[in-house]
Amino acid sequence: MPTVREGFACAAVGEKVYVIGGLVPHKVNEPYVVEIYDTKKDTWTTGPNTINNAWGASAVTVNGTIYLIGGGESSSIMTSLQVGTQSPEFKLSVLLNEGETVQISTSYNLDNNKNFTWSSTNEAVAKVDANGKVTAIAEGTADIYAQNADGTFKEYIPVKVVKGVADELRLAAHLKIGEKANLYLTDDASKVTWSSMDSSIATVAADGQITGVKKGLAIVKAELDGQAYQIYVRVNG
């Protein structure tokens, strides 16, 4: 916990733990801070410092709102902290057959992958190498994490591995080697940044035209107005 204190309230919402108020030793006028621990990413962030008289309070969560009862110099104080929904975070999974590989990345420049530490939460299901290439091992699910050296960036992509049926479950652009197709995101193509996560399998031009290079599976990404999009590209011989 970043701020050492005592008498704080604590409540959980979804995958996050909220530490609220409390007294900071030797700092009588210290603000009543709210700090949030993300159990999925193993990181701390600071929330809104708007809770008054929160030391010694009790906390309970109802429908995404944390209610603080008592605390401070009064046992009748009740206040609330809006923190959003209790629903868990949902992410689109990468779907792979056993033995299949796919390249993922932290940016549009694959060389940046070497600046991150890559890991899998379940190497019996999917492994990842030092450059972010994922290999499906056996049926199941795993999260693939990338983290930088100082811990300020830590993100993950879920991977689901199935046995021999991923092609039936996965929507993808389908190309033969040498075949081309055009991807579309907006009428103004100059606003879109395109990249292929594995250009040895499929390339993508600045205008969104993809070309099959060799048999395999690649992910093509597009960025528009700060929002990222992706599509599978499957290349057959």
Cβ 56 vs Cβ 75: under 8 Å: no
Q: Strand 65-69 and strand 58-62: pairing?
A: antiparallel
Q: Give the highest mean pLDDT range of 24-28, 150-154, 156-160, 163-167.
A: 156-160
Share of the chain above pLDDT 90, in %: 21
Residue-by-residue DSSP string for the chain:
--S--BS-EEEEETTEEEEE--BPTT-TT----EEEEETTTTEEEE------S-TT-EEEEETTEEEEES-TT-SS-EEEEE----PPP--PPEEEETT-EEE--SSS-GGGGGGSEEEES-TTTEEE-TTSEEEE-SSEEEEEEEE-TTSS-EEEEEEEEESS-HHHH---EEEETT-EEE--S-S-GGG-EEEES-TTTEEE-TTSEEEE-SSEEEEEEEEETTEEEEEEEEEE-
CA pair distance 72, 21, nearest whole angstrom: 10
Look up tokens 């999925």; give the residue.
Answer: 40
Domain boundaries of the chain, sorted by first residue:
9-81, 94-235
- Residue 162: the pLDDT is 83
The answer, as to whether pTM is greater than 0.75, is no
What does the alpha-carbon distance between residue 211 and residue 204 come to, in Å, rounded to a whole number? Answer: 6
pLDDT (tens digit, 9 = 90+) per residue, 70-100? 666 544 445 555 554 444 444 556 778 888 8
Q: Would you state the pLDDT for residue 189? A: 80
In 3D, which of 88, 217, 222 has the Cα closest to residue 143? Answer: 88
162-210: per-residue pLDDT in tens?
A: 886 655 555 567 888 999 988 888 878 888 999 998 999 999 999 889 9
Residue 66 in this model has a pLDDT that exceeds 90: no
Query: Stretch 228-233: mean pLDDT, rounded?
Result: 83
Q: So what CATH class is 94-235? A: mainly beta
- To the nearest whole number, what is the mean pLDDT of the chain? 79
- The residue-averaged pLDDT of 120-136 equals 94
Q: What is the pLDDT of residue 83?
A: 54
Distance of CA 150 to CAs 40, 43, 109, 153, Å? 17, 11, 20, 8
pLDDT of residue 231: 84
Which pLDDT score is estimated for 76?
44
